[in-house]
Each structure stands twice: as C-alpha cells, then as structure tokens.
Amino acid sequence: MKLRKIKILFSLMLVFVMLLTACTQATPAITEAPAPEATEMPALAATEEPAPAATEAPAAPAEAVEITFWHAMSGSREEIVNGIAERFNASHPGIVVKPEYTGSYAETVTKGLAAYRTGTAPTILQAYEVATRTMYDSGAIVPVYTLNTGDVDWEEVVTPIRKYYTLEGNLPCMPFNSSTAMIYYNKDMFTAAGLDPNVAPTTWDDIESMSKTIMDAGLATGGLSMGWPAWIFEQMFAYHDQLLANNDNGRSAIASEVYLNSEFGVKMMTKWQELAEDDVLVYGGREYAANDPFLAGQFPFLVQSTSSLGGILKNATFKVGTAFLPRLSDEYPQGNSVIGGACLWVFDSATPEQQAAAWEFFKFTFSTEEAINWHKGTGYFPTSVSAYEQLKSEGWFEEEPNHATAFNQILSGADTPASNGAILGDFVVIRDIVGAAIEDVVVNGVDPKVALDKATADTNQVLADYISLLP
C-alpha cells in the first residue's frame, strides 16, 4: 500500500514539474535586462553570483554513519550549506553529512520521491512549503518529532514557523529556511517627489496615491510590481485573517475546497486590476523578474519575498526602505504574513543509525550559533527563539533595520488557522492555477470574478483528485 501511494504521489510531482515547465505566462516587457536566475523562493540575502565550486566532502571513516542531504540551495547559499556540513562533520567524528545540490525545489522533491521508489533515497530531503502536504501524505517519511530525544523544546521554534509546519499537533519535519514577503520602496523617489521617505505605505490605497504622485512627477513609469504574485495573493488572505481553504486551511482535516472566489478574494483581485488599468501595477512575472526593473528605477514599489533583500541592498543605487505588507482596508481583521521556505524531511528508508544521525544534524543546524550564522550568511530567519533574541541583544536589527522588518511583521500578527497559512494537496499545481488567473486579470483584463470562479473550480478538482488517490 505504501509503495502504491508513493507511486501515485510521485506521478503527481511529475505533473507539477511538467506544468511549471510548460506554463506559458503573459509577459509584457518591463525590462530588457535578463531576469536573475531563481531556482527557489526564500532567502533574504540571495545574490546573483555564480554558484561556487562544490566542496568535496571528506572521506568517511569506515565506522562513520553516512547521511546524504539533498537540497535546493544554489549559488552562495550552497557554499554556506557545505560549510554547515563541514563544521558538523568536524565536531561529530562518527557521522558524515554529504550535502548535494539537486536543482530547484520542485526538482529536488521530485527526485527525492523518485529515488525513494527505487530504493536510492537520501537520508534528508529539503522540501519547500508547498510540498508539505505531499511529503506528509507520502508514507515515505519519519516524522521528525518522533526522532526528538527530548533535547529540543519545540516551543523554541519561532512561533509562525512552527505553526505553519505543524500538522495534527506535531512537527513532521525540521524547519530550516524560512522567509516571508514585504514591501520594498525607493526612498530617493519619495524625496524627489516631496514625500516623506520615512513614512511607508500601509494600505493598497497608500501605494496607489504615492505611486501616482511619483509618476506624475515624471520619476517613474509605473508604481508597483510584485514577485511571486500567486504567493502574494495567498499572503493577502492570511494577512487579512481570511481562510483560503476549508477545514481550517487544511489543518483540522485535509482541505477539499478553496475560497479563492470569496468576497475578499474578488475584492483583492479587483483592486489589482484597477491598479493595472491605471498603469500603477506593472506585471512582473511569477518569480523574481520584477526585481531588475525596480532596481532600474522603473517603479517605486516592489512587493516581493524577503529572499530578495540581500540582492536588492547590494545592487540598489538608491536608498531602500522596507515595510509591512499592504492591507486592503480596516474592515478585515489583522492576520499575519505567511512563511515561505523549506523544511527538512527524513525518509523512512534510512537506517535507524542514519535517522539518529540526521537528528544530530538537525540539532546542530538549530543551535543558536548555527542559526545566527545561517541568518547572517543568507538572510533567512533563524528558526530558534534563542538565536533571534541573541541577534536582538547584539543590536543586529538596529544596525540592519531592513532585516528587522520581516521579523517584526511575522511576530506581531495574529495566531489563527487563517493567518497561519494553508496546507493543500498538490499545492504546486494550485499555485500555478492562481498565477494564470492573476495574469488573466491584470494583463488580459478578464473580470476578476470570472477568473477566480474558474480558478476555484479548477483548484477544487485538483483537491478532489488528490484526495481520491489517498488510501
């Protein structure tokens, strides 16, 4: 039964990748510069530097337990992952961790499940947040909470991160890299247009009025663009404390229905269409393509993953400001922004010795020192409360206020099923469906209700198909 289940879910992952690869996006030109390559969503300090040469892992002593770690951290982040493994191996002579970059998040998950079917799975797999339900239902994993020997207090995991990945009251995977989304803005444009650069927008109406002021001054050709717009749409549901799916966003039971075309969803999408019709909202693709024209000064605002912070701060020729996500209006309650990123999973094909070794590695990555190194080296949130508190006491966030924005945002929001974000089966396919609906609305002028009705029907069918394949 378990192998049948894996075969089915692996087939679904192949569909995910084919859909993502074959997807044809509406792409009005917003810059002639090529978009930076992006194989993953989260990392506050991502850069566009070429990937460094992989560091060859040291040969393991004959008695050492070897564990393989497949991940999607490319570029400078791969070097940092290799450094973590090297420090762990040096301090744990009986264990050798062998990290291996295996492509994008989708590729890494697909390869991992495929390897499980053939008996060649790694010990540890990094899987992004939209694969959480698939990994959990796969029957291929050892829940990480069962590996905890009592030496990690789960309350030490930063609350919004812990809440996102918790299913049925427990953590099935080890949180590793997390980020969220926020506003970036061009302070120099504010000053030139007579706006206070230290007063950031708090609502979509603020973004509209400030953008028009800057555009009317001839300082920009547009006002706003977004990265990962389907994810931002999900963020808006959580940020306004609106459920995206039934069964408590897929947490009290597996989700079978979504609310994309709810009154809130239609109102949010209508606002985006109005901004696009006024040339304020400039469609920027489904990932990071909007970053370059923002850096080129084509518009003053960017709503994007905090994964881009490091690269933007490094490459901007203007003063960069950051702010919380914009709200639609005060008629909706305050929710919270949603975690993006990835979690570490252990395959049940690992030997008991490898599973124990994987837990030792998880404890090492979760330690205060390593969590701080990880944050400073990549910009991802440190997953432990102790690391966050130490960074605060050191004055890190005072020195780097733009890094504090995302933390302050996720730590000041609500704690409800809606604000914790949704866990959906075949979420990768669903995000693709929503992305197509957004393009129809903001690029092709399709009525928001019509587009979201179709996206809702298509998504509900995806969920029904997913549920039908479960034992």
Q: What is the CATH number of the domain that holds 219?
A: 3.40.190.10
Note whether 174 and 188 are same-domain residues: no
Note whether 220 and 285 are same-domain residues: yes
Report how far residue 245's alpha carbon sits from residue 8's, in angstroms, rounded to the nearest whole number.
23
Q: Among positive and negative, which fits the CA dihedral 77, 79, 83, 85?
A: positive
Q: Is residue 165 part of a domain?
A: yes
Structure-block tokens of residue 184 = 């970036």
Other C-beta atoms closer than 10 Å to the C-beta of 18 total: 10
Note whether 321 and 362 are same-domain residues: no
Note whether 423 and 294 are same-domain residues: yes
Reduce the DSSP state of residue 305 to 3 states and report it.
strand
Note whether 87 and 207 are same-domain residues: no
Q: Is residue 296 part of a domain?
A: yes
Note whether 125 and 186 are same-domain residues: no
Q: What is the pLDDT along the chain (471 residues), one digit of tens a residue?
A: 444 454 455 445 544 444 444 333 333 333 332 223 333 333 333 333 333 444 444 454 458 999 999 999 998 889 999 999 999 999 999 999 999 999 998 899 999 999 999 999 999 999 999 999 999 999 999 999 999 999 999 999 999 999 999 999 999 999 999 989 999 999 999 999 999 999 999 999 999 999 999 999 999 999 999 999 999 999 999 999 999 999 999 999 999 999 999 999 999 999 999 999 999 999 999 888 999 999 999 999 999 988 788 889 989 999 999 999 999 988 899 999 999 999 999 999 999 999 999 999 999 999 999 999 998 888 888 899 999 999 999 999 999 999 899 889 999 889 999 999 999 999 989 999 999 999 999 999 999 999 999 999 999 999 999 999 998
Strand partners, 281: 224
Strand partners, 316: none
Report how far residue 444's alpha carbon sits from residue 421's, in angstroms, rounded to the nearest whole number.
29
Report how far residue 290's alpha carbon sits from residue 332's, in angstroms, rounded to the nearest whole number.
28
Structure-block tokens of residue 334 = 């305050």
Q: Is residue 132 part of a domain?
A: yes
Q: Is residue 405 part of a domain?
A: no
Q: Is residue 399 part of a domain?
A: no
Q: Among positive and negative, which fits the CA dihedral 392, 396, 401, 405?
A: negative
Report how far residue 291's alpha carbon sits from residue 262's, in angstroms, rounded to the nearest whole number.
30
Strand partners, 186: 320
CB of 247 within 8 A of CB of 222?
no
Which domain does 228 fall in, by range? 181-337+419-464
Report how far residue 373's alpha carbon sits from residue 395's, in angstroms, rounded to the nearest whole number.
15
Report how far residue 432's alpha carbon sits from residue 230's, in angstroms, rounded to the nearest whole number.
8
Give 403-408 contacts, CB < 8 A, sequence gap 24+.
403/44, 403/309, 403/379, 405/182, 405/322, 405/323, 405/324, 406/44, 406/179, 406/180, 406/182, 406/306, 406/309, 406/322, 406/337, 406/381, 407/381, 408/324
Q: What does DSSP assign to residue 286?
A: S
Note whether 217 and 284 are same-domain residues: yes
Residue type, 367: S
Q: How far is CA 391 from CA 44, 94, 310, 335, 387, in A?
A: 16, 32, 17, 25, 6
Other C-beta atoms closer than 10 Å to the C-beta of 4 total: 11
Report how far residue 436's alpha carbon sits from residue 441's, in angstroms, rounded to the nearest whole number.
9
Report how far residue 190's alpha carbon sits from residue 167's, in angstroms, rounded to the nearest whole number.
44
Reduce the DSSP state of residue 450 to 3 states and report it.
helix
Q: Is residue 346 part of a domain?
A: yes
Contacts of 398 (CB under 8 A, 6+ apart): 404
Q: What pLDDT is attached to residue 62?
A: 58
* b/e sequence 217-252, b meaning 16+ C-beta within 10 Å: eebbebbbbbbbbbbbbbbbbbbbbbbbbbbbbbbe
Note whether 114 and 163 are same-domain residues: yes
Q: Is residue 80 part of a domain?
A: yes
Q: Is residue 469 part of a domain?
A: no
Note whether 369 and 301 are same-domain residues: no
Report how far residue 344's alpha carbon sits from residue 393's, in angstroms, rounded to the nearest whole number.
29
How many structural domains does the chain have? 2
Report how far residue 416's alpha carbon sits from residue 437's, in angstroms, rounded to the nearest whole number.
27
Note whether 77 and 46 are same-domain residues: yes
Q: What pLDDT is attached to residue 51?
A: 38
Largest CA distance in the chain: 70
Structure-block tokens of residue 179 = 């980020």
Structure-block tokens of residue 104 = 């994008």
Q: What pLDDT is attached to residue 80?
A: 93
Q: What pLDDT is attached to residue 288?
A: 85
Note whether 315 and 367 are same-domain residues: no
- Extract the runs of DSSP E, i.e. beta strands, from 49-200: 65-71, 95-101, 124-128, 141-142, 174-179, 181-186
Note whether 252 and 109 are same-domain residues: no
150: burial class by Cβ within 10 Å (0-12, 13-18, 19+)?
A: exposed
